[in-house]
Amino acid sequence: MKESFTLDQIRRFSMVVVVVGIVIAISGAVRTGSIILSLGASAFALARYSQLKVKRNIELILPIAICLLLFILALSLPNAR
């Protein structure tokens, strides 16, 4: 039995989640699409950061901050459908 997922599998899955979020946002559910997109993008950023050989903090903090701000913005949207 496989104990954990590889980082490439996590990256692929997070890209699928990002695409699903974009499709949902385009189809009309902006708040839901933005939340899904921010979660998928943050998972992608974390997986990519853990694969880097030279780790700089800005390469983790900036994408996670952008995803967090997108998440907060999606929650604060009035009447988003």
pLDDT tens for the chain, 81 residues long, are 567 778 788 888 999 999 999 999 899 888 888 999 999 999 999 888 888 888 888 888 999 999 999 899 888 877 655
Please tell me the predicted confidence (pLDDT) of residue 81.
53
Which residue reads 């385009």 in tokens? 26
CA distance 66 to 54: 22
Give 50's DSSP letter. Answer: H
Q: What would the two tokens of residue 79 be?
A: 């009447």
Q: What would the two tokens of residue 67 be?
A: 């995803």
